[in-house]
Amino acid sequence: MAVHPVTIWGEPLLHRRAEEVTVFDDDLRALIADMFETNDVANGVGLAAPQIGVGKRIFVYKYANDDGVPPQGVLVNPRLTLSKVSGAAPDPEEDVEGCLSFPGEHYPVQRAEWVRVDGFDGFGEPVSFEATGWFARVMQHEYDHLDGLLYINRLIDRYSRKAMRQVKRNGWGVPGLSWMPGVDPDPFGHDTED
């Protein structure tokens, strides 16, 4: 297993639809193992293949949930069915997300409270489950990456303007930027001692 650099907002692969996986082989399973390792070292709850520079429809997650779903898993070629997303403004305390590809920042975004997830594991076996609450949020966040979206693309105007100012301040929005989990400081402060 290997840890991969995580691409940052502006990398073209992050902003386009990923391709379907057509071959379930040892190379795919090695990639999935690397994604789990990278996600663990980055202290992430999820990681999509485009975030490590691979334009395939794969994401891994690590999130304890109350839905009877294993706390760690992979989805290959997933499909999501969502409940209705509230038209209310997102709660600035309860609905805040972060993203390894928008490192160190947090913004509130509205999501569906329930999703049905259908896809495959690394061996091509069907995977199907329902997710609620924050686990549903994780599924939607990672799935968006496969369609070339980051949660920043879903922000309401006032938060979107703040996020774009942050892009400018950080010098993001250009190809080739990344950070290396386990080498660079954790952008979300998970590895700082209190």
Which residues are designated catalytic?
142
Both tokens assigned to 63: 């999130």
| Phi and psi angles of residue 134, each rounded to the nearest 5 degrees, phi first | -65, -30
Neighbouring C-beta atoms of residue 179, cutoff 10 Å: 18
Are the CB atoms for 87 and 97 separated by under 8 Å?
Answer: no
Q: Are 14 and 142 in contact (CB under 8 A)?
A: no
Taking the CA atoms of residue 16, residue 77, residue 24 and residue 3 in that order, the dihedral angle to the nearest 10 degrees is 60
Contact assessment for residue 76 and residue 21, using Cβ atoms and an 8 Å cutoff: yes
Q: Where would I find the H helices in 45-186?
A: 133-146, 157-170
